């Protein structure tokens, strides 16, 4: 999501501290692409384990459900969009998710 929201008013960066074993999310800061963010992943069976890393938003620890899959942390879309106050909608008829940075998050 950091890659997709980059350049919008709701952009955020993601960084990793190996020493602290922590993920840092920073509001308003541009995301620096690492490559492969939008690559189509092969469908295969993988193991998802709860992440063991601490997650921070703007320097404050946050409690998010996250999973570690193939050395990457994955978060629930709505959890991340709630943190950054981004609207998420779903249209059952078209099976489409809408993300709108001009609107705030709603439950």
pLDDT digits 0-9 by tens, 15-26: 999 999 999 999
Strand-pairing partners, residue 87, are 100
CB 14 within 8 A of CB 34: no
Report which of residues 107 and 13 the model is more confident about.
Answer: 13
* pTM metric for this prediction: 0.86
């Amino acid at each position: 999501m950091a890659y997709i929201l980059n350049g919008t008013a709701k952009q955020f960066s993601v960084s990793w501290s190996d020493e602290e074993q922590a993920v840092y999310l920073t509001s308003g800061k541009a995301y620096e692409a690492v490559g492969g963010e939008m690559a189509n992943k092969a469908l295969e069976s993988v193991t998802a384990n709860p992440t063991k890393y601490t997650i921070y938003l703007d320097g404050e620890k946050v409690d998010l459900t996250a999973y570690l899959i193939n050395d990457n942390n994955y978060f629930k879309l709505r959890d991340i969009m709630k943190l950054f106050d981004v609207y998420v909608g779903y249209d059952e008829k078209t099976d489409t998710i809408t993300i709108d940075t001009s609107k705030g998050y709603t439950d």
